[in-house]
């Protein structure tokens, strides 16, 4: 795959709790240079990233309800509104994992729909993190369907903080669940060009990676 095409499919990511402003500054400079789709940073760094990427083709992505998904819908809505006001254009929210596993579909759908409404009112994109390592295949498919019904733009495999991250099998399962149009973000443990290509072949339309520069080394 051509380097410029692959770069536009990557969210250049730094979500470690110990990340510093200088590291985020470096992340943004790399994203500008390589024209990644976005940088994905913790909410505290959204204003910095928005300032550094102003006028570029790189979006500012941040996380909400991260990494557990166990905050209230009201708290997630507040996080989302603040992040967008500070310059975020893409929101990666964590699904209410425990409620999904309990089969509380209306609550899970409503949680996602509330954030989709906020995002779309401000022309921002919403991605829903399922945290597949904690779910059965049936729960993964259900989470995908609820995200689709609730109006999300993407479903995403993982936070990167669970015991495992993205797998080709999970991406294929998610694609089967949501159909051909919805975005799928594969994230968590993707650190090489071949890994990224395998995820894309299985149906991923976006890759979340902290080792984006290594991934690009394999591109033509």
Residues tagged active-site: 92, 156, 185
Cβ(116)–Cβ(126) under 8 Å? yes
Contacts 24+ apart (CB under 8 A), 77-81: 77/114, 77/115, 77/118, 79/43, 80/115, 80/118, 80/119, 81/118
3 state SS of 169: helix
Other residues' Cβ atoms within 10 Å of the Cβ of residue 55: 6
> Cα 60 to the chain's mean position, in Å?
11
Q: Please tell me the distance from the alpha carbon of residue 83 to that of residue 62, in angstroms, as a whole number.
A: 7
Nearest to 13 by CA among 47, 40, 50, 35: 40
Cβ(106)–Cβ(141) under 8 Å? no
Cβ(91)–Cβ(84) under 8 Å? yes
Token pair 């943004």 in the structure block, residue: 28
């Amino acid at each position: 795959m051509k380097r410029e095409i692959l770069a536009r499919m990557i969210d250049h990511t730094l979500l470690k709790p110990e990340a510093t402003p200088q590291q985020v500054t470096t992340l943004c400079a790399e994203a500008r240079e390589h024209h990644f789709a976005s940088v994905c940073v913790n909410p505290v760094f959204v204003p910095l990233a928005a300032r550094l990427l102003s006028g570029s083709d790189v979006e500012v992505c941040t996380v909400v309800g991260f990494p557990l998904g166990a905050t209230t819908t009201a708290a997630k809505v507040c996080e989302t509104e603040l992040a967008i006001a500070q310059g975020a254009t893409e929101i990666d929210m964590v699904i209410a994992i425990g409620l999904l596993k309990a089969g509380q579909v209306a609550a899970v759908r409503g949680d996602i729909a509330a954030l989709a409404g906020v995002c779309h009112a401000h022309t921002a994109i919403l991605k829903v993190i399922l945290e597949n390592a904690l779910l059965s295949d049936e729960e993964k498919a259900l989470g995908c369907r609820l995200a689709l019904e609730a109006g999300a733009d993407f479903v995403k495999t993982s936070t990167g903080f669970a015991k495992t991250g993205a797998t080709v099998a999970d991406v294929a399962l998610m694609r089967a669940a949501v159909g051909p149009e919805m975005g799928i973000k594969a994230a968590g443990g993707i650190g090489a060009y071949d890994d990224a290509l395998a995820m894309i072949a299985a149906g991923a339309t976006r890759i979340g990676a902290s080792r984006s520069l290594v991934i690009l080394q394999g591109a033509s």
